[in-house]
Amino acid sequence: MTERTIAVDYLARVEGEGALKVRIQDNRVEDVQLKIFEPPRFFEAFLRGRSYQEAPDITARICGICPVAYQMSSCHAMERALGMKVDGPIRELRRLLYCGEWIESHVLHVYLLHAPDFLGYPDAIHLAKDHPEAVQHALALKKVGNSLMTLLGGREIHPINVRIGGFYRAPTVAELKAFRPQLEGAMPLAEEMVRFAADLDFPKIEEDYEFVSLRHEHEYPMNEGDLVSSRDVHVPQDHWEDVFEEVQVPHSHALQSIRKKGGGSYLVGPLSRYALNRDHLTPHADELARSVGLENVVRNPYRSIIIRGIETVYAIEEALRIIDHYRRPERSFVEPPPVTEVRTGAAVTEAPRGILYHRYRIGPGGLIEDAKIVAPTSQNQKRIEDDLRHLVERSLALDEPTLTDACERAIRNHDPCISCATHFLKLDLERH
């Protein structure tokens, strides 16, 4: 009997602290564990007793890479709890802010975190020595996303301008118009990113994913839409807990999100959004996808890097559209009603790496009584482990370092954000 263990003690180029352990016995994969040793921070616990108006600022601190996602999901959940309707220019400004985060986060992942895997470099700094133009263009493009967040949100990390009901201050038409040239300049760089990504060499692998994302009647989803899957899910977005649940895996004490029905894994993120919403891409983004040979549904996780590029092109076009149609609202926010009784609300929005679920119960007086937050990475965790199991089963002949590298790459395909997921991912006391 032979036993092999593949261990990566510290995953690099992911956000947060994680590790991987795979146990192989007699050429069979016995166990795959994506381990998270990021220390717990107890957000759901200390949100209790805080004002519901504080949730966007506090939950943003769960993740420095996708703070807007936390601000958006918390705002929508609170507004649903209070029966508020936020529409018109404020709704559009929220979408514009999300465009900034999608651009910044996708470019960060494509060039600085993911591309080095395909080209054989430890990081983007080394990549820059041989491909200076690619990295310079990446930084210029990423800067446009960050500048958009700064324009609307005050700063790129933990923006300060988001509140329940809208914004503290709405930008003027002139301020947004002045940003147009930066977005126009970003478009050729984003198109180049799509072609750069499409030219990479991809392992020929297809996975049988159940794709899960939001789907909106008219637009590529960010803040609104129903919760749908490529199999049989189609529910209002605040019904997340009817379809999915978090379970504990007995042998590893893990909390993972699974389908309630059947207990299977599912995938959130760019592959899913694209598979379920390709018809809502702009004609230009759609044509670009076609020109680089993207089929309507992409099941090869490595090729998610191309879809991040397509979504970046989409976000730039969408930002331009919003700016061109913008009329400054009379008030920058909708006034929330007083909270006189217990209210509950839930919402899902599309973080760059997939759907983010928030649910709150607010007591009379407006203090939070209960909070539940399910990050995209905790929803993808079981699916990432499935990818890894299949990869290792296919690759048993590889030597240890090559197989270990391959496993790390397979994890980075899904752009995991471990700080976000910590309060739900498995936490193993074993230290290596």
- Residues near another protein (CB under 8 A): 10-17, 38-46, 48, 50-51, 54, 57-58, 61-65, 67, 108, 112-113, 116, 122-126, 128, 135-136, 139-140, 142-143, 146, 154-158, 160-161, 163, 167-169, 248, 253, 255, 332, 408, 419, 423, 427-429, 431
For the CB of residue 1, give the shortest distance to another protein in the complex, in Å. 29
Cα separation of 284 and 361, whole Å?
A: 42
334: three-class secondary structure by DSSP:
coil
CB proximity list for 245: less than 8 A, separation 6 or greater: 257, 258, 260
Nearer residue to another protein within complex by CB, 52 or 220: 52
CB proximity list for 418: less than 8 A, separation 6 or greater: 11, 14, 15, 16, 17, 18, 36, 38, 377, 425
Per the CB < 8 A criterion, the answer to whether 73 and 358 are in contact is: yes
Nearer residue to another protein within complex by CB, 71 or 277: 71
Nearer residue to another protein within complex by CB, 258 or 267: 258
For the CB of residue 404, give the shortest distance to another protein in the complex, in Å. 11
Nearer residue to another protein within complex by CB, 142 or 259: 142
Cα separation of 148 and 199, whole Å?
A: 29
CB proximity list for 257: less than 8 A, separation 6 or greater: 244, 245, 246, 266, 374, 378, 379, 381, 382, 424
Nearer residue to another protein within complex by CB, 76 or 109: 109
For the CB of residue 175, give the shortest distance to another protein in the complex, in Å. 12
For the CB of residue 417, give the shortest distance to another protein in the complex, in Å. 8
For the CB of residue 88, give the shortest distance to another protein in the complex, in Å. 19
For the CB of residue 248, give the shortest distance to another protein in the complex, in Å. 5
CB proximity list for 304: less than 8 A, separation 6 or greater: 269, 270, 271, 298, 413, 414, 415
Per the CB < 8 A criterion, the answer to whether 151 and 161 are in contact is: no
Nearer residue to another protein within complex by CB, 35 or 215: 35
Nearer residue to another protein within complex by CB, 237 or 422: 422
49 burial class (0-12, 13-18, 19+ CB within 10 angstroms)? exposed
For the CB of residue 46, give the shortest distance to another protein in the complex, in Å. 4
